[in-house]
A and B are shown apart, each in its own frame.
Chain A
């Protein structure tokens, strides 16, 4: 049981390049999330998904797109990378979001460190 995995672990991009970050979970979780973490800013939600085929915007969605074609995978795309997107990106998943179980745990992947030059 690998939990939440992220690919790649580290990437350097040039401004304007595109890339896709892959998150995979093997816990059969319905909810998945993408966060970014910057020094002095804490974790901020980019996009999230409450189930296969559905996505929603979080706090800082601009410049990113996501897709949830399979329940176990959540992809984060950068269409045209900018230096402001230099960050550590964390994916997380949880069994349920809110309402039925208010004390659900979010499980995080190990993170992807992205440097945009």
Chain B
């Protein structure tokens, strides 16, 4: 089983739609969780960290289910500018351990 798995998509949605991405991770010792966004031919950028209690940032909501080793990202009222690849990222809290990236889910929002 791969360490971080995501549905690659693509997800094609109209403007204003609500879309949800899911991610599963294999290492039960993982402690930190993130969603990064990567635009075409650009570098990844942090979208939001994922807290145990779930967290919201404007139209974006992230949820964590430790028992199921599952992370989700919900985007409400999709905008054209949300079109990008969304990377699920996990790290175990061990000294020197870097981030493990999922392969990403591609979102295309159309007018």
Contact = CB atoms under 8 A, between A and B. Distances in A.
Contacts, number: 53
A103 B64 CA distance: 14
B101 A43 contact: yes
Nearest to A40: B103
A45 B91 CA distance: 13
Contacts of B45: 108
A81 interface: no
A74 interface: no
Interface residues of B, number: 22
Contacts of B87: 42-43
B34 to A, nearest CB: 8
A2 B46 CA distance: 17
Contact of A98 (B44, B95, B103): B95
A110 B43 contact: yes
B98 A103 contact: no
B97 interface: yes
Which of A41, A102, A109 has most B Cβ within 10 Å? A102
Contact of B43 (A58, A105, A111): A111
Interface string A7-33: 000000000000000000000000001
A99 B95 contact: yes
A106 interface: yes
Interface of A: 33, 35, 40-45, 48, 50, 56, 58, 90, 97-99, 102-103, 105-106, 108-111
Question: Which 10 residue pairs spanning A and B have beta carbons closest together?
Answer: A108-B43, A42-B103, A43-B101, A102-B32, A105-B46, A103-B49, A42-B101, A98-B93, A45-B98, A48-B98
16 contacts: A41-B103, A42-B101, A42-B102, A42-B103, A43-B44, A45-B98, A97-B96, A98-B92, A99-B93, A99-B95, A102-B93, A108-B43, A108-B44, A108-B45, A109-B43, A110-B42
